[in-house]
Each structure stands twice: as C-alpha cells, then as structure tokens.
Amino acid sequence: MLNREDLILASILLLVYTLKMLSSYKNRYLYKHLPITLMLLFSTYISNFLRGVKDTVLVSSLGAEFISFIKFYGVLPSSLIFFLCFTRLANILQRDKLYYAIILFFCSFFMVYAFILNPLKNQLQPDLSNLITLYPAFKYQIILLQNWTISLLYIMCEICGTAILTLLFWQFANDLYSIKEAKENYALFGVIGQSGIIIAGFMQALISSYFFQNVSWDYTMKWMMFTIILASFALIIIYRFLYKKVFFNKHLCSLNHRQDKKVHLSIAKSIRYIFSSRYLWLIMLIVFCYGMSANIIDIIWKNLLKNQYTTEHEYSSFVGKFNIIFGFISVFVMLCGTYILRKFTWLTSALFTPVMGGVTGAIFLLSIIFKEDLLPLFHNFGNNILLMGVIMGSIQIMLFKSLNYTFVESTKEIAFIPLDRELKIKGKAAIDIIGGRSGKAFGAITQQLMFQCINPNLNNLTQEFLTLFIIIIAIWIFTVISLNRHFLQITNYS
C-alpha cells in the first residue's frame, strides 16, 4: 500500500515530467495537438450554446415559423455586412489581432444584451400593432422589427457561432497543418473537441433547470452569457499560446509563415478574385446545399418542439439535454469518421454526409407524412404523435449534424489547404459566412413562398419539403464529385 508521502512524491514527479515534456518542441502532441483540441472544444461550446440560446428565445417568444423570415431578412444581410467588415479588417490587422478583435466584439455585444437590452426589452421595443393591421402581408417582418432585441440576438448568435468555429478556428488550423497531417488529425482531435457540445448541453440544461423555479428568464440569460464570456477568454489565451509558440516554429509547423507576405487587395478586388475561382464556387455550393437541407429538417423539427415545450425554461432545458446526447453521438461518429478519413479517399469521405443524411432525412419527413399510419408501431408513446415526431426529428438532427462536423467540415477544410493565402482567408470567409447563410436564407425564402402560394400552415407542407430536400441532396452529390476532380488536379492526395 502506498502511504500519503509516496503519493505526494509520485504526484510531484509526474508534474515535473509533464512540464519537461511540455517544454520540448519535439513533443508535437502536447505542444500542438492538445492546445488546438482545447481550442476546438471551446469554439464548439460557444457555437452550440449560442445555437440553443437563440432558438430558445426566438421560438418560445415568437414561434418556429419566424425562423425562415429572420434568416432571410436578418441573418443573410448581416452576414454580408460581416463579410465586408472582415475583409476590410483582414487588410488592416495582423492574424492574431484580427482574431482578438472579432472575439472581443461578440463578447461586448452579449454583455450588453444580457445586462441592458434583455432586461429593458419592454421599454426599448416599440408597439407596431397598427402597422400589422395596415399591412397584413408583411406581418412577420413587422413583428421581427417590433421585437428587435430578440431578432438582434438571433442574428448575432448565428454569425458568432459561424465566425468563431467555422471561420476563425478552421482558418487557423489550416495554417498549422499540412494536407497529410489534416487527414490524420482533423477528425481525431475533433473527437475530443466535440465534447464541447456535451458541456454546452450540460450547462444549458443545468442553468435552465436550476433557475426554473427560482428566478426570471432575464437572470438565467445573464448566467448563460457569462459562460460564453469565460469560454471566449479561454480561446484568446490558447490562441495566443499557439500563435507565439507554434505558428512560426519550423519544428511544429511545416508551413513557413515568416515568409508570408500580407496581401492588401481592396474589398472590390478581393471579391472579384474570390468569386472568379470555380474551385471556391464548388465548395460554396456544398456548404449551400448543407445549409438548405439542414434548414428544411430544422424548421419542421422546431415547430414540433414549440408545440411540445411551451415555456422558455422548458424549451431551453430540452435543448440542453438534446446537446448532451448529441455530443456523445458526435464523438462516436467522429471515431468512425477518423478511420474513414484515413483509409478511404477524399471523395468517399465527402459523399458520406449527403448519402447518409439524405436517406435519414427522407425517412424523417416520410414519418411525418404518414404519422397516423405509423403510430400503432410506437406503443410507448400512447397517442402522443407530437412526442413521437420530436424524438424522431431529434435523432435525425443529431445524426445529420454529426456527419456534418465529421465529414463535411473535415473534407472542406482539407480542400482549402492547397490554396493561396488570399483564398484561404477571404475566400474561406465568403464561403463560411455567406455560403452557409445563403443556403439557410434560400431555404427560408422558399418556405415563405410555400406559405404564401401553397399553404400558410407549416404542418401541411411536409410533402413539398420532402421533394425539395431530395433535389438539394442530389445537387450536393454531383457537386462533391465535380470538386473531387479539381482537388485531385492540385494535390497528390485522393
């Protein structure tokens, strides 16, 4: 048996050995892979936590049908503005300063919202009921304008989640890893990084459940935003360590960034240069197809959630528990994805999501269409068709997003690596910010046209959504095959 002194001595020796390993540039895992994994963890936490917050506030306050309108009239134009600002800042600021500026900008907004905009929303939001009566055709747009604090939160959460995880993190990772390293490590450190989803779900469920009986939603929101601020500052610390110790170190990073020359193209020239690349257009179309197909499933599922969970605390608590299960499923899918990315071709990996997601998405939509016929098969739900739809939709969303994180993100980022710095930074910003938002916005405007031309009730449009979903998946598959031909021409990896 070890006594107390032996345990203390062993702990000291272990600490000394760990510090010695950390001080060695030869230990690539502890000095490079571990920090980038933690960076992914915090980025994933912020992205998924904000997704739960924005959906809770908008759906509980206004309804799921408003999602399509705010994505088209709010998120899409705001994304264009953010892209133009990012392009301008990329010409002015150094890499690290650009990262810090964007993180601190979003932190400042969330603090203002939690302590000023949200508590005072009843005093700040105007009463536009007369305009709704005068212009009933623009009811949804006027209601979003009237509830501008909620709309602004949704827009900022949407852009922040994309900017921090999809744009800033992966842009930095692409500058640290070669194509060979990316194929070996992207899905692998993503396994640990995806635990950020589990932590986000746990924290949201914990905060929502703890304050459910005790305080108002405004107080709950302050605690939620406080966790986002802490995670953001953790990101800044990790980024600074990697930028100072790894980014310019030839032993840890095979790319020689000291020879990089900063490109100072104007915004107009940058946009012309980016959109003249067929290669980037194909990547953008893949992101567009995922955004639109995911939006179709998302709006139907959230409409079911709104009817099942009627209060903000109940809705938020469910979303938190959903993210916990989603995180575990993502980790499992990533473990499988690590093997597939290493052993199979880029094309096989890139096709995995549209094929699997397309099949499961079609099954979910068919189950909604034929729900009355399927209900006898699910005795455990009694006569609760709504709960059955919520659970089946949750499974589909979890699988679809897990496949996206594992295969779409990894293969897309690998496709960026051989490009020049201008396309890596500004081209990636255009694709991640505009491409993804355009897919969701185009899906939103399509839904609005369906509401106006076919049926104003979302529950009666499932067949039309199924047809549109199949078309988008088919376009996605053909785009991946086309991009693969270009990818093989500029790399030695298949």
- Given a cut of 80, is residue 154 above it in pLDDT? yes
217-227 average pLDDT score:
83
Interval 230-271: pLDDT, tens: 999 999 999 998 888 877 766 666 655 555 555 555 556 666
Residue 196: closest CA among 168, 247, 235, 246: 235
Q: How far is residue 105 from each of residues 74, 75, 95, 120, 434, measured CA to CA in Å?
A: 19, 17, 16, 21, 19
Over 60: is that where the pLDDT of 216 sits? yes
Phi-psi map region of 63: left, alpha, beta (phi>0 left; psi -120 to 50 alpha): left
Using a CB cutoff of 8 Å and minimum separation of 24, what contacts does 484-488 make? Answer: 484/346, 484/347, 484/350, 486/278, 486/279, 486/282, 487/346, 487/415
What's 120's domain CATH number?
A: 1.20.1250.20
Under the banding of pLDDT at 50, 70 and 90, the label for residue 127 is confident
In this structure, is residue 23 part of a structural domain? no
Q: What pLDDT was estimated at residue 25?
A: 43
Residue 14 lies in a domain: no
Instruction: Classify residue 4: in a domain, yes or no.
Output: no
Q: Of 275, 281, 217, 323, which is closest to residue 483 (Cα–Cα)?
A: 281
For the chain, what is the domain count? 1
For every residue of 381-446, DSSP letters joined together read: GTT-HHHHHHHHHHHHHHHHHHHIIIIIHHHHHHHHTTS-HHIIIIIHHIIIIIIHHHHHHHHHHH
Of the candidates 285, 489, 482, 319, the one whose C-alpha atom is nearest the C-alpha of residue 393 is 319
Least confident among 93-97, 157-161, 303-307, 356-360: 303-307
In 73-169, which residue ranges form alpha helices assigned H by DSSP? 76-92, 95-112, 121-124, 129-134, 139-146, 148-161
Tell me how far apart the alpha carbons of residues 14 and 28 are, in angstroms, rounded to a whole number: 19
Contact 478, 292 (CB under 8 A): no
Task: Encode burial over 312-339: b for 16+ CB neighbours within 10 A, e otherwise.
Answer: bbbbbbbbbbbbbebbbbbbebbeebbe
Residue type, 24: S
CA gap 357, 292 in Å, rounded: 13
- Are 305 and 320 in contact by the 8 Å Cβ rule? The answer is no
pLDDT band at 49 (very low <50, low <70, confident <90, very high): confident
Amino acid at residue number 207: I
Nearest-10 Cα torsion for 244, 420, 234, 192 = -110
Residue 196 is encoded by which pair of tokens?
A: 């950020």
Mean pLDDT along residues 330-354: 82
5 domain-assigned = no
Is 3 domain-assigned?
no
Q: What's the pLDDT band for 463 if we cut at 50, 70, 90?
A: confident
For residues 374 and 393, what is the distance between their CA atoms, to the nearest angstrom? 15
Please tell me what DSSP assigns to residue 71.
I
Say if 1 falls within a structural domain.
no
**In 3D, which of 329, 92, 87, 54 has the Cα closest to residue 194?**
329
pLDDT band at residue 2 under the 50/70/90 scheme: very low
What span, in angstroms and rounded, lies between the C-alpha atoms of 86 and 98?
A: 8
The two structure tokens encoding residue 193: 């990084």
pLDDT of 21 higher than 50 = no
pLDDT at position 109, please? 94
- The whole-number pLDDT of residue 162 equals 83
Q: What is the pTM of this model?
A: 0.71
User: 209-213, 240-244, 399-403 — which is least confidently predicted?
Assistant: 209-213
Q: Is residue 361 part of a domain?
A: yes
Look at residues 93, 479, 420 and name the one whose alpha carbon lies nearest to residue 283: 479
Q: How much helix, strand and coil, in percent to the nearest 5, is found in the chain?
A: 85, 0, 15
Neighbours of 185 (CB within 10 A): 23
**What residues make up the domain containing 360?**
28-490
Does residue 22 register a pLDDT over 80?
Answer: no
8 in a domain, yes or no?
Answer: no
Q: DSSP class of residue 254? A: S
| Cβ–Cβ under 8 Å, residues 318 and 376 | no
pLDDT single digits (tens) 55-112:
888 877 887 778 778 888 888 888 888 888 888 888 788 888 999 999 999 999 999 9
Lowest mean pLDDT among 138-152, 335-349, 394-408, 433-447: 433-447
Q: How far is CA 239 from CA 28, 243, 308, 315, 425, in A?
A: 16, 6, 41, 34, 17
Burial class (CB in 10 A: 0-12, 13-18, 19+), 183: buried
